[in-house]
Amino acid sequence: MNIKSQKDFFSGLMFMGVGVAFAWGASGYSIGNGARMGPGYFPLVLGVLLAVLGGVITFKALVVETVDGDKVGAFAWKPLVFIILANLVFGAMIGGLPIIHLPPMGLIAGIYALTFIACLAGDAFKFKEAVVLATVLAVMSYLAFIKLLNLQFPVWPAFLGV
Amino acid sequence: MDLFNNLALGFGVAFTPVNLMYAFVGCFLGTVIGVLPGIGPLATIAMLLPATYALPPVSALIMLAGIYYGAQYGGSTTAILVNLPGESSSVVTVIDGYQMARNGRAGPALAAAGLGSFFAGCVGTLILAAFAAPLTELAFKFGPAEYFSLMILGLIGAVVLASGSLLKAIAMIVLGLLLGMVGTDVNSGVPRFSFDIPELTDGIGFIVIAMGVFGYGEIISNLGKHESEREVFTANVTGLWPTKEDFKNMVPAVLRGTALGSLLGILPGGGAVMAAFAAYTLEKKTPLRPGEVPFGKGNIRGVAAPESANNAGAQTSFIPLLTLGIPPNAVMALMVGAMTIHNIQPGPQVMTNNPELFWGLIASMWIGNLMLIVLNLPLIGIWIKLLSVPYRWLFPSIVLFCAIGVYSTNNSTFDIWMVGLFGFIGYLFIKLGAEPAPLLLGFILGPMMEEYLRRALLLSRGDWSVFITRPLSASLLAAAALLLVVVLLPSVKSKREEAFVED
């Protein structure tokens, strides 16, 4: 059997998986009955529905012809990794990461880290450009979020004690 | 005429130079902050609320109205320019607005959003002034069964938001509903699907999903493509103002959107949220004029209709707010909070006990709306300049503002981890050709739907036939079934044609 539409085949599998997972999770809560629904009732129904829909989508992907096979195509690992990583590092800089004994480094350090890592996701990394961009963003964010809006962000590294 | 007396009273209270200044300042601040990607109207109002504490009540409300409109329009601006919906209603604006911007027509898109909103706001104000009392009766006719059926209708309507496979769109809605289930169950207090993570017991934030799926997913997908086929903007921006042709397309769309929005806004709990979605659905089902751009490719009607519906809905949603005391959405809930700070208890008594305040408020909403047009139409040129920033500078900035916006809503790094996860999921959706707009609607309506389903069946003692024996609910469900058939028919037809060609 060959897959006629890769995109639909895999999204069908995804829906089935997620549906089953939710339904299985919901069955752990009290279900109740129609008149008195427990917390598990609605998610269970939806989970089963999603799994069924996923099944139909997968089945159709195996049967219905498509023009070019609807290939999923290669994953863009480089931007995927760097964008998500930039975001995660920013989070770690703002809040600190006790697991690796990283103290909160604050907003400014976070902005520099985020900008550098995010720039690596682009086509060509230019160090100078990243420095300028990070500085501009840091100054702008400081003025807008800290000075103007008075948001409660840690701005400087915690160990400086400012 | 009562209507004119009332409005005159309202404007007499609100229309002073000082108040106009507050409206302007509020609108300006709201726009400036609301336009930052990742910071929607809710966050903007929350941030600026303290600035109004010291003012006298009417001035405070006027400034808030200005902030509200400014923030909402700022949110639409980011939706159109950088494909980031800051709140539920701009999810729809993103679809065609962003495509218009990519085709160099960001100016007309922004103008359409502004003008449509203003017109809808004016109509909404008049409806509010004229029919506030009788319209409340309509809201009373809606029991839980009717709300549930209305939401089914809304969700079926959301299917047309997607341009691809119908089944996948429905699956995405269900997935959205399920994501909405995460968090503490309001009836039993059981934390559902929270994996013992305390942050998850409050549920997943709308901003987290919207920023992850729309913001990060889109950026990753864009960077993954070769520079030549990247979905960025054409360099030649054609005109800041809608053309004659645009106006011809826009005007009926604005009228339809306004009518739908005014009607749905009256229903407390979800009505106003659905206005934008419903308006888009309606437009997509209205035949294209010859030479018109298809929906999803940058049709101006796809911007004008939901934006007007949203604004009309926001205006008429004051009816349930002021008469029943039920805020229709989170933004309105904040406004209620602001009112109580100024010693105004929303409810039926406001209209009779405090008429100058009630009508002053209505007049101030209109003034806020007016300020929006005055302030923002000249600003369109500046926003457009933003688009000329090269993508290699723009995307790290968007990532940063998303991260800051997400963090600032709860001051919690957990939300940043979550937005990373949803960024990955969003990229996966793009790769699998599953469109995210229906998912977001499902996510918003999920908890409400469950609540109404539970209430309806509790009242009927578990008898499911309540949905078809109550006439209003039955007709809503019939409309949903009809809509499903209408949506299904073309796809059946095109499949047939495909098969025919292959023979």
Looking at the complex, does the CB of residue A81 fall below 8 Å from at least one CB of chain B? no
Task: Closest CB to B416: pick one of A15, A50, A91.
Answer: A91
Mutate which of B220, B457, B491 to test chain A, going by most A C-beta atoms within 10 A?
B220
Q: Which two tokens stand for residue B418?
A: 């979550």
pLDDT band at B497 (very low <50, low <70, confident <90, very high): very low
Is the separation of the CB atoms in B84 and B76 below 8 Å? no
Task: Closest CB to B220: pick one of A36, A60, A79.
Answer: A79
Contact A90 B178 (CB under 8 A): no
pLDDT score for A21: 92
pLDDT tens per residue, range B140-193 = 677 888 888 888 887 887 776 666 678 888 899 899 999 988 988 877 788 888
Partners of residue B190 in chain A, C-beta under 8 Å? 29-30, 39
Contact A111 B420 (CB under 8 A): no
B158 to chain A nearest CA, in Å?
16
pLDDT score for B20: 84
B64 to chain A nearest CA, in Å?
16
Q: For residues B253 and B106, what is the distance between their CA atoms, to the nearest angstrom?
A: 18
Mutate which of B184, B407, B500, B502 to test chain A, going by most A C-beta atoms within 10 A?
B407
pLDDT score for B501: 43
Contact B392 A129 (CB under 8 A): yes
As a whole number, the mean pLDDT across chain A is 84
pLDDT tens per residue, range B461-484 = 878 888 888 888 888 888 888 877
Task: Give residues 128 to 187 of B whose Cβ lies within 8 Å of A.
Answer: 165, 167-168, 170-171, 174-175, 177-178, 181, 185, 187
Residues 6+ apart with CB under 8 A from B381: B107, B240
Domain ranges for chain B: 2-502
Give this complex's ipTM: 0.90
Partners of residue B165 in chain A, C-beta under 8 Å? 8, 57
Contact A53 B404 (CB under 8 A): no
What is the rounded end-to-end Cα distance, in angstroms, of chain B? 70
Q: For residues A23 and B192, what is the distance between their CA atoms, to the nearest angstrom?
A: 12
Looking at the complex, does the CB of residue B229 fall below 8 Å from at least one CB of chain A? no
Q: Is B195 exposed, middle or buried (0-12, 13-18, 19+ CB in 10 A)?
A: exposed
pLDDT tens per residue, range B24-64 = 888 888 887 777 765 667 667 776 777 777 778 778 878 88
Report the pLDDT averaged over residues B354-376.
79
Q: Is the pLDDT of residue B104 over 90?
A: no
As a whole number, the mean pLDDT across chain B is 78
Task: Closest CB to A57: pick one of B168, B392, B417.
Answer: B168
pLDDT score for B238: 61
Q: Quote the percentage of chain A above a pLDDT of 90.
A: 17
pLDDT tens per residue, range A56-84 = 999 888 887 777 767 777 788 888 888 89
Is the separation of the CB atoms in A53 and A19 below 8 Å? yes
Looking at the complex, does the CB of residue A104 fall below 8 Å from at least one CB of chain B? no
Partners of residue B461 in chain A, C-beta under 8 Å? 35
Report the pLDDT averaged over residues B309-316.
83
**Model's pTM, two decimal places?**
0.78
